[in-house]
């Protein structure tokens, strides 16, 4: 009942039915066909709205969920010794992981730094040279 009122089906049918007795038999047939065209255009509009929602889902929502899943898997697979980059652009090597915090070695003198797990942007696969020492 709610959707009928929302899309105007009830009012379109009521208008067509009220005009038919007043106008006569020939005019009533024309009004009935006009009411049918109104319902047809309503169905077309409804299908277009469903198509737009489907397009938004496949173009925006689904890829974002896929990316979020990959990030979650990457954060769950972190282990000591991994070379990572933080969202702030800091490169470091994981020393220890405790719940939602990660302790990193940073720089050539291996200074310790504690960051949140969600602040990890990615795990580095390439080796990076630091002041005389090569990290892989």
Where do we find the tokens 């007043």?
Answer: 22
- Say whether both 122 and 87 belong to one domain: yes
Mean pLDDT over the full length of the chain: 80
Count each helix (H run) and each strand (E run) in the chain, helices first.
4, 7
CA-based radius of gyration for the chain: 32
What are the contacts of 78-83 at 24+ separation with CB within 8 A?
78/102, 78/117, 78/120, 78/123, 82/123, 83/123, 83/124, 83/128, 83/135, 83/136
Where do we find the tokens 């737009």?
Answer: 52
- Say whether both 71 and 112 belong to one domain: no
**Which of 49, 75, 101 finishes a domain?**
75
- Say whether both 94 and 70 belong to one domain: no
pLDDT at residue 63 is higher than 50: yes
Domain count, the chain: 2
What are the tens digits of pLDDT across the range 87-131? 999 999 999 999 999 999 999 899 999 999 999 999 988 555 555
pTM above 0.75, yes or no: no
Report d(CA 58, CA 38) in Å as an integer. Answer: 30
- Say whether both 33 and 85 belong to one domain: no
Domain hosting 48: range is 2-75
- Give the DSSP H/E element, type plus range, for residue 13: helix 9-23
- Say whether both 11 and 68 belong to one domain: yes
Report d(CA 73, CA 92) in Å as an integer. Answer: 20
In the prediction, which pLDDT does 102 show? 96
- Say whether both 56 and 38 belong to one domain: yes
Give the pLDDT band (50/70/90) at residue 24: very low
- Say whether both 105 and 52 belong to one domain: no
Overall average pLDDT of the 71-88 stretch: 94
- Say whether both 51 and 85 belong to one domain: no
Q: Percent of the chain, pLDDT > 90?
A: 59
Overall average pLDDT of the 13-34 stretch: 50
Residue of higher predicted confidence among 136 and 79: 79
- Say whether both 70 and 7 belong to one domain: yes
């Amino acid at each position: 009942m709610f959707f009928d009122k929302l899309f105007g089906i009830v009012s379109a049918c009521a208008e067509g039915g009220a005009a038919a007795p007043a106008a006569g038999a020939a005019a009533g047939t024309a009004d009935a066909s006009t009411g049918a065209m109104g319902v047809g255009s309503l169905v077309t509009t409804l299908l277009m709205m469903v198509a737009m929602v489907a397009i938004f889902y496949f173009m925006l929502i689904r890829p974002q969920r896929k990316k979020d899943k990959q990030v979650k898997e990457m954060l769950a697979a972190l282990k000591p010794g991994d070379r990572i980059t933080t969202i702030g652009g800091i490169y470091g090597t994981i020393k220890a992981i405790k719940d939602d915090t990660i302790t990193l070695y940073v720089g050539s003198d291996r200074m310790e730094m504690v960051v949140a797990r969600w602040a990890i942007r990615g795990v580095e696969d390439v080796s990076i040279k630091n002041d005389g020492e090569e990290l892989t």
